[in-house]
Amino acid sequence: MEDNSKIPTKEEIIKNMAKHLQTNFEDGEEVLLRTYDLAFIKGKMEAISEMKKKEIEK
């Protein structure tokens, strides 16, 4: 992922989480919470984008 403003894909999140947990298994809860936060933010951004598209179409 080159551009920091890009939302990571589900596969990238899982890959990064798995890689981190291989050496830091005690961080499992924090990694899951961060993953959830990213998914929530992504969903919220997609919903806002969809709402803006519908406003433009009116």
pLDDT in tens, 3-45: 567 888 989 988 987 888 888 888 888 878 888 898 999 999 9
> Do the domain assignments include residue 47?
yes
> Do the domain assignments include residue 21?
yes
Higher pLDDT, 1 or 25: 25
Tokens of 8: 């990571």
> Do the domain assignments include residue 45?
yes
Show the domain range for 22.
10-57
Q: At what angle do helices 10-23 and 28-57 cross, to 10 degrees?
A: 170
State the total domains in the chain: 1
> Do the domain assignments include residue 5?
no
Confidence of residue 2 (pLDDT cuts 50, 70, 90): low
Q: What local confidence, expressed as pLDDT, does residue 44 receive?
A: 95
pLDDT at residue 1 tops 50: no
Closest C-alpha among 31, 6, 2, 26 to residue 16: 31
pTM: 0.52
Rg of the chain, C-alpha, whole Å: 15
> Do the domain assignments include residue 2?
no
